[in-house]
Amino acid sequence: MKQEGQPIAMLTAYDYPMATLVDASDIDAILVGDSLGNVVLGYESTVPVTMDDIIHHLRAVTRGTKRAMVVGDMPFLSYHISREESVRNAGRIMQEGLAQAVKLEGGSEVAETVRAITNAGIPVMGHLGLTPQSVHQLGGYKVQGKGGDAARKLLEDAKSLEEAGAFAIVLECIPQQLAKLITESISIPTIGIGAGADCDGQVLVIQDLLGMYADFTPKFVKKYANLKEQIVQACQDYREEVKARSFPGPEHTFNMAEEELKKLY
């Protein structure tokens, strides 16, 4: 798709019903991201997400996906302790989670881990810029690569990941000029989130796109719907009808035959 100039559309999904809807929209790829820690499990960061969490949600998503490529995030500390453990955990995401690829954060410091995982026959997507698993080290959710030295490091990191065998790289919260340079400097696709329109593709969190997750809305998010208001209103309407005993109505109710009812008295 990069070679043909076709932009790649990617979204997150974390459960079976959402995966079926996203897949039906002809989205190219679905990411079961560790962002599920924030938007599904209610954590303040992605750090508490475990391998079992990712695998549990991956299995639900892959059951609901027929055509999109499914990528599973490798959570915090699942690829940092040793190369052997990294390959084993990546293998679990493929074998138990039924994903088609894994994603991990970091640049040149994880290049040899990427090489080891790809050598095991597992496709790896990289992730540079704002890397949420390192948010405490980065000092918060901030745009990365704004200075010349930091930008040069990200460019070198992207080349290192490509050389190590990564098939694509997510670029998160970096200046659009840097994202464009990285995209033009490597042969593998870049998937942007807060990185401008010059990346080879884009990814968003589905709850952000649908206007469901209202705790915080990053600048790079475009809300294509406002389901939060609709869902809250629907729940309020339900509550009011229950209180008024107008739900359930006759059309929602089952009945016994009169002769069968008489047997109870």
CA distances from 251 to 36, 98, 173, 235 (A): 38, 42, 51, 20
The 8 Å CB, 24+ separation contacts for 247-252 are none
Has 112 been annotated as catalytic? no
Query: Within its chain, how far is the Cα of 105 from the centroid?
Result: 13
Q: Work out the end-to-end distance of the chain between its first and last CA atoms, rounded to an integer number of angstroms.
A: 72
Angstrom distance (rounded) from CA 183 to CA 241: 54
CA gap 188, 162 in Å, rounded: 7
**Residue tagged active-site, from 44, 109, 162, 172:** 172
Distance, in Å, from the CA atom of 149 to the CA atom of 156, rounded to the nearest integer, reads 11
**Residues assigned a catalytic role:** 172
